[in-house]
Amino acid sequence: MPTFNTQFHLLGVYCEVEVDYEVDPADPSVGLAETVNLNSVYILGYYPEGCESRSVIKRDYDYLNAKADLNYLTREEMNTLESECYQHLETLKQEAFDYE
C-alpha cells in the first residue's frame, strides 16, 4: 500500500496530509481501468501562516495527527485526493522505470 504526504486546503487552513491508498490493477480482458482506493487520510498538521509561508517549503507545520473520516469527505476532496494518488502512482512507476 503506497503512502505519501501532500499539502491540502481544508476549511481555508493549509494542512500537511498523509494519504494511504491501494491500487486495483487494470484488467484489459474485461475493460476495467486501474483504480485507486483510499485507505486512510491523516491530517498531520497545519501551517498557521498559510500556504505562502516559508514553513511550507521546510514542512515545518504545527503537529496535529488527526485521522480523517473518509465517509465525511466531500466529493471534491475525494476527487482531489484520488488525483494526487494517481500522480503519486505515476511517479512510482517512473522511478521504477528509471531504476532499471
12-43 residue pLDDT tens: 899 999 999 999 888 777 777 788 999 999 99
User: What pLDDT does residue 19 have?
Assistant: 96
**Burial of residue 85 (number of CB atoms within 10 Å: 0-12, 13-18, 19+):** buried
User: What pLDDT does residue 3 have?
Assistant: 93
Opening angle at CA 18, ends 83 and 74, nearest 5:
50
Q: How far apart are CA 61 and CA 7, in angstroms?
A: 10
User: What pLDDT does residue 10 have?
Assistant: 86
The C-alpha cell of 57 is what?
517549503
Q: How far apart are CA 45 and CA 55, in angstroms?
A: 12
Dihedral sign for Cα atoms in the order 95, 96, 97, 99: positive
The C-alpha cell of 36 is what?
485507486
Which residues are within 8 A (CB) of 72 and not within 5 positions of it... i.e. 6 or more apart?
none
pLDDT (tens digit, 9 = 90+) per residue, 62-99?
999 999 999 999 999 999 999 999 999 899 888 877 76
